[in-house]
């Protein structure tokens, strides 16, 4: 570390959030000789330990903040470590930089992760096999899109992120377990940040990269500063868990099956997200809202007999509605109210209009990897429209994964992606406040690890270019 915080003066650049966007921005700036401070409310990578996973607790103890989604490395990097190397997925960065530049950034991000130890193989399906899957999907109304994917795994990602820290911890002022209260602006320019303990840290440039979990914080800061914000569709759905044999033919080639579906009854866009072969279902605690939601991850070296993935319904709202994150949170709160935590239900029980019980789950053919989930009835939490979309998606997926629409498939709920706002940014990801940048999932720029990392590079390079032009 470069000294203690109380003994250092101004920085060249402050980064709020130590997720992929923040880490890649810090790498770029520190290698250019700039003084950089990185703040994150979560723990260092060595201390990111969920009490459930360590055996210290059988149930979610609502850590503040949650070790699964907060801390050094961010949510996506630590929870699964999946690098999607295809520009069609993971965000909207192409709108800012163009396709060719985005392809170059994706390659650079991949090389950097490999440099720090992410040396796992890249999955890319055989063209003949992929064509057959695409054909079968189209017959059911599915758009299946092949992608190149490098999977680090949750276990290997921890080592990779520790390697990031070895470099950045020596060249930047890194402060984990440190909350940023707000951004300071003077005469239309960024001045620094105010920490929750009242400490003022100054810099002429600030990057906001709080990630999905920090999206509500981002909304508050944007409102305080009068920044222009657009609402994005809110993604709400369930996590599906099936035996490996249902998905193996696909996951051995694709690793992750990315499918998009226009559900016929309501014409809603539905998609698969974050497929975890041989993985496990996990909980996430949203400390700002007090919600427990569901997610999934896969380890590289420790495998289960199940595969899980999310089915998400993207719902677009119109004026005057301006709170998609609040809407998603309200649905998650209903599920928590019913079960005290995440709910789990057999698909057959859902279709029959009855709740799942512990006995029915026990008699099922799928052993749940999230033992803490409460058997219940998702129809009491999810709106009818969302349930209809999800059931229609499962029926369509049966064309490429025979058996998934069967009665023993497990559904966990709810899964909500809290990144449903987008700041108004220029091509360098700078806001209307000079020197104030935003990147990653929390800013609505990206929806995945690789493009979040790339967005950090874009913001850092814009700052460096601006400095060179000024000199």
Residues 217 and 362 in one domain: no
Residue 35 and residue 9: Cα distance in Å, rounded?
Answer: 10
Residue 97 and residue 408: Cα distance in Å, rounded?
Answer: 45
Give domain status of residue 22, yes or no.
yes
Residue 454 and residue 438: Cα distance in Å, rounded?
Answer: 12
Q: Smallest Cα–Cα separation from 233: which of 440, 23, 417, 374?
A: 417
Residue with tokens 């201390």: 47
Residues 113 and 20 in one domain: yes
Count CA within 13 A, CB hemisphere, residue 111.
Answer: 6
Give domain status of residue 137, yes or no.
no
Task: Tell me the residue range of the domain where 210 lies.
Answer: 5-119+152-230+422-470
Instruction: Give the count of domains, the chain.
Output: 2
Residue 83 and residue 152: Cα distance in Å, rounded?
Answer: 8
Residues 22 and 41 in one domain: yes
Residue 434 structure tokens: 């000079």
Count CA within 13 A, CB hemisphere, residue 413.
Answer: 34
Task: Identify the three-state secondary structure at position 299.
Answer: coil
Full pLDDT tens readout for the chain, 471 residues = 443 444 346 999 999 999 999 999 999 999 999 999 999 999 998 888 888 878 888 788 888 888 888 899 988 766 678 899 999 888 889 989 999 999 999 999 999 999 999 988 899 999 999 999 999 999 999 999 999 999 888 788 889 999 999 999 999 999 999 999 999 999 999 999 999 999 999 999 999 999 888 888 998 999 999 998 776 778 999 999 999 999 999 999 999 999 999 999 999 999 999 999 999 999 998 877 889 999 999 887 789 999 999 999 988 777 777 788 889 999 999 999 999 999 999 999 999 999 999 999 999 999 999 999 999 999 999 999 999 999 999 999 999 999 999 999 999 999 998 776 788 899 999 999 999 999 998 888 888 899 999 999 999 999 999 999 987
Residues 192 and 264 in one domain: no
Residue 382 and residue 338: Cα distance in Å, rounded?
Answer: 12
Residues 352 and 393 in one domain: yes
Count of Cβ atoms closer than 10 Å to residue 166 Cβ: 9
Peptide bond connecting 8 to the previous residue in cis, omega within 30 degrees of 0: no
For position 92, what pLDDT does the model report? 84
For position 356, what pLDDT does the model report? 98
For position 3, what pLDDT does the model report? 38
Give domain status of residue 454, yes or no.
yes
Residue 192 and residue 73: Cα distance in Å, rounded?
Answer: 23
Q: Do 333 and 340 touch, CB atoms closer than 8 A? A: no
Task: Identify the three-state secondary structure at position 378.
Answer: helix
pLDDT tens for 37-72 read: 999 999 998 888 888 878 888 788 888 888 888 899
For position 7, what pLDDT does the model report? 38
Residue with tokens 């559900």: 263
Q: Do 183 and 208 touch, CB atoms closer than 8 A? A: yes
Peptide bond connecting 373 to the previous residue in cis, omega within 30 degrees of 0: no
Residues 333 and 202 in one domain: no
Residues 324 and 266 in one domain: yes
Residues 255 and 367 in one domain: yes
Residues 331 and 344 in one domain: yes
Q: Do 313 and 235 touch, CB atoms closer than 8 A? A: yes
Residues 98 and 223 in one domain: yes
For position 79, what pLDDT does the model report? 67
Residues 106 and 192 in one domain: yes
The DSSP bridge pattern shows strands 142-144 and 189-195 to be unpaired
Give domain status of residue 226, yes or no.
yes
For position 93, what pLDDT does the model report? 92
For position 201, what pLDDT does the model report? 96
CB neighbour burial string for 275-311, b if at least 16 within 10 angstroms, e if fewer: bbbbbbbbbbbbbbbebbbbbbbbbbeeebebbbbbb
For position 8, what pLDDT does the model report? 44
Give domain status of residue 45, yes or no.
yes
The CA distances from residue 313 to 92, 112, 389, 414, in Å, are 18, 33, 7, 11
Residues 434 and 406 in one domain: no
Q: Please give the angle made by the CA atoms of 451, 456 and 458, to the nearest 5 degrees.
A: 90
Q: Smallest Cα–Cα separation from 105: which of 221, 25, 38?
A: 25
Name residues whose C-beta falls within 8 Å of residue 64's C-beta, 6 or more positions apart in sequence. Answer: 285, 287
Residue 457 and residue 454: Cα distance in Å, rounded?
Answer: 5
From 417, 437, 460, the end of a domain falls on 417
């Amino acid at each position: 570390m470069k000294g203690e915080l109380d003994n250092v003066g101004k920085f060249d650049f402050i980064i709020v959030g130590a997720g992929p966007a923040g880490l890649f921005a810090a790498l770029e700036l520190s290698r250019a000789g700039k003084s950089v401070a990185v703040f994150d409310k979560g723990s260092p990578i060595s201390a990111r330990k969920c009490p459930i996973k360590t055996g210290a607790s059988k149930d979610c103890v609502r850590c503040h903040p949650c070790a699964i989604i907060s801390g050094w490395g961010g949510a996506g990097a630590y929870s699964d470590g999946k690098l999607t190397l295809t520009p069609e997925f993971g965000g909207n960065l192409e709108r800012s930089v163009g396709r060719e530049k985005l392809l170059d950034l994706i390659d650079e991000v991949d090389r950097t992760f490999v440099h720090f130890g992410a040396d796992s193989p890249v999955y890319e399906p055989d063209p003949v096999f992929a064509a057959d899957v695409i054909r079968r999907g189209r017959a059911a109304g599915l758009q299946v899109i092949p992608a190149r994917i490098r999977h680090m795994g949750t276990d290997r990602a921890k080592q990779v992120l520790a390697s990031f820290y070895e470099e950045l911890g020596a060249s930047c002022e890194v402060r984990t377990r440190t909350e940023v209260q707000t951004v300071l602006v003077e005469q239309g320019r960024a001045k620094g940040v105010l920490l929750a303990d009242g400490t003022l840290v100054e810099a002429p440039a600030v990057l906001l990269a709080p990630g999905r979990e920090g999206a509500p914080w981002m909304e508050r800061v944007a409102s305080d500063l009068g920044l222009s914000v657009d609402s994005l569709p809110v993604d709400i759905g369930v996590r599906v868990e099936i035996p490996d044999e249902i998905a193996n033919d696909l996951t051995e080639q694709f690793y992750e099956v990315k499918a998009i579906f226009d559900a016929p009854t309501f014409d809603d866009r539905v998609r698969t997200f974050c497929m975890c072969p041989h993985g496990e279902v996990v909980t996430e605690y949203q400390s700002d809202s007090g919600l427990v939601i569901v997610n999934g991850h896969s380890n590289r070296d420790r495998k289960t007999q199940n595969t899980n993935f999310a089915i998400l319904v993207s719902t677009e709202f119109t004026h005057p509605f301006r709170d998609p994150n609040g809407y998603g949170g309200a649905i998650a709160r209903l599920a928590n109210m019913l079960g005290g935590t995440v709910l789990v239900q057999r698909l057959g029980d859902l279709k029959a209009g009855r709740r799942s019980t512990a006995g029915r789950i026990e008699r099922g053919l799928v052993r749940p990897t999230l033992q803490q989930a409460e058997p219940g009835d998702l129809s009491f939490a999810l709106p009818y429209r969302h349930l209809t979309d999800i059931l229609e998606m499962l029926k369509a997926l049966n064309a490429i994964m025979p058996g998934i629409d069967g009665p023993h498939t497990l559904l966990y709920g709810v899964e909500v992606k809290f990144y449903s706002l987008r700041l108004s940014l220029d091509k360098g990801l700078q806001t209307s406040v000079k020197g104030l940048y935003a990147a990653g999932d929390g800013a609505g720029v990206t929806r995945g690890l690789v493009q979040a990392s790339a967005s950090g590079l874009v913001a850092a390079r814009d700052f460096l270019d601006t400095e060179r032009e000024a000199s």
